[in-house]
Amino acid sequence: MPRSEPISMTFPPFSGVVRRLVLANVAVYFVTLVLGLIVPMTVALAMGYMMLVPSEVVHGEIWRLATYSFFNGILDLIFGMVTLWFCGSILEESYGSRWFAELYFTATVGGAALASALTFTHRLGLSPASVTVGAWPAIFGVLIVIAVRFGDMQFMPLFPFRFTIRARYCVAIYILLDLAILLRGGQVFAALANLSGVLCGYLYMSFAPRRGMGFGFSEQFYGVRNAYYRAKRRRAAKKFEVYMGKQGRTVNFDKEGRYIDPDGEKDPKDKRWMN
């Protein structure tokens, strides 16, 4: 595939997993906004059970590793969803919906789990009581793939100004800014979660099969299942050979347990006559 594209003002497709994720984040924002005006205490209590809090995760509230990513502030929602739309559509079109969805949630859950584990070191002012929300760990996981696989693509980070920069340099700046926040203080846990999302996204990109982990696991499962049935068929064939031998008749099966016609030389791989 081409590694660079001319700058264009056209918008990418808004469909597939990208559309569902963007709409889900927007819907959660407006639902919490409206309900916050009607029943503010109930919404605040519900959000308290959805945010990423490492101390609560280790006590069994593992759903927080995913739910935290759907709660965003207005600026994070605008810039994050635009970034997800533009970058996510490139990856979904290139690698498929399954692969992109797995990448997104690997960065979401993996980034949250790794960052939560690191809070127990109490380094850099981190604490298991730290709290964060937002889709940026997942978006950073998407960005690192863009930087590696589409590094020469031209980005326009300061829209609508006609200033462009290569994807790899733009993503590198984002990562360095988060690293600076992590080292200098501020929203340390949020910055750590973003950087953890980068690592998880990179690991997924490096090791996941071309059609996604789910497809790879299903292939392995069906491979094991088919091997079991082949072994079962071979055992049944051997038992039948013994039984027919006791009846004074000879029957033959190949190494896969398929019957060999004694009336002529036939290719055991010819599926037209296999049982």
Work out the average pLDDT over 68-85: 94
* Residue 152 CB coordination number (10 Å): 11
Phi (first) and psi of residue 73, to 5 degrees: -75, 170
Confirm if 167 and 151 have CB atoms less than 8 A apart: yes
Which residues does 132 contact at the CB level (< 8 Å), separation at least 6?
Answer: 51, 52, 68, 115, 187, 189, 190, 193
CA distance 113 to 125: 18
- Among 33-47, 149-163, 167-181, which is the least confidently predicted range? 149-163
263 in a domain, yes or no? no
- Answer left, alpha or beta for residue 14, where phi above 0 means left and psi between -120 and 50 means alpha: beta
What pLDDT, on a 0 to 100 scale, did the predictor assign at position 217?
A: 54
Domain count, the chain: 1
Both tokens of residue 258?
Answer: 């398929």
The answer as to whether 126 is a domain residue is yes
Tell me the pTM: 0.74
**Per-residue pLDDT band at 125 (split at 50, 70, 90):** confident
Residue 185: its pLDDT value, please?
79
Flag whether 226 is in a domain.
no
Residue 58 maps to a domain: yes
How far CA 93 is from CA of 12, 37, 153, in Å, comes to: 10, 39, 15
How far apart CA 166 and CA 246 sit, in angstroms, is 77
**Mean pLDDT (the chain, rounded):** 84
Is residue 12 within 8 A of residue 89, CB to CB? The reply is yes
pLDDT band at 155 (very low <50, low <70, confident <90, very high): confident
* Residue 144 covered by a domain: yes
State which of 2-6, 42-46, 269-273 shows the largest mean pLDDT: 42-46
Looking up residue 194, the CATH number of its domain turns out to be 1.20.1540.10
Range of the domain at 177: 16-208
Contact 171, 231 (CB under 8 A): no
Q: Which residues pair with 252 in a beta bridge?
A: 260
- 261 assigned to some structural domain: no
